[in-house]
Amino acid sequence: MTEPISLTTALASFTELWSPRIVARVNDYDIRVAKVHGEHVWHVHDHTDEFFLVLDGELTIALRDRTVLLRRGDVFTVSRGTEHKPSSQTGASILMVEPSGTLTVGDRHDEVPAHVDATTGHIL
């Protein structure tokens, strides 16, 4: 085990958008934080749910049948197999929980734009 990590410090250590950093692990799950602004890409995780907590700002998650808005301190889980597209008009910092190895763009996705990092998360 290591020392506690400050999410504020962790978020201050990088500037890349849509490029999650792994701040902790719980068994075979990652706790990731990311800075986001603008639009991610439509994608789906066929085999896993994905949990979101908004640490700062506002995050919109488009689903095919509706759109959910998460404000600071809101949590939401996107169920496996559900197409979704995160975005943030104002910018946000978010925390995610998902199995280690989960790709940010899922198992199926639209064409990935250059500003979206297709990654399983970076070490802090």
CA 98, CA 120: separation in Å to the nearest integer? 10
Residues 82-111 interacting with a second copy (rule: CB under 8 A): 82, 95, 97-99
Min dist. Cβ of residue 117 to a second copy (A): 21
Nearer to a second copy, 47 or 113 (CB): 47
Q: Is 64 in the site for a second copy (CB under 8 A)?
A: no
Those residues with Cβ within 8 angstroms of residue 39's Cβ, 6 or more apart along the chain or in another chain: 85, 86, 87, 113
Min dist. Cβ of residue 43 to a second copy (A): 16
Q: Is 48 in the site for a second copy (CB under 8 A)?
A: yes
Q: Is 63 helix (H, G, I), strand (E, B) or coil?
A: strand
CA 102, CA 92: separation in Å to the nearest integer? 21
Choose which of 26, 46, 111, 114 interacts with a second copy (CB under 8 A): 26
What is the Cβ-side half-sphere exposure of residue 115, based on CA atoms within 13 angstroms?
10
Looking at residue 13, what DSSP letter applies? Answer: T
Q: Is 46 in the site for a second copy (CB under 8 A)?
A: no
CA 36, CA 18: separation in Å to the nearest integer? 5
Choose which of 34, 36, 41, 70 interacts with a second copy (CB under 8 A): 70
Site residues for a second copy per CB under 8 A: 1, 3-8, 23-27, 29, 31, 48-51, 53, 63, 68-71, 73-80, 82, 95, 97-99
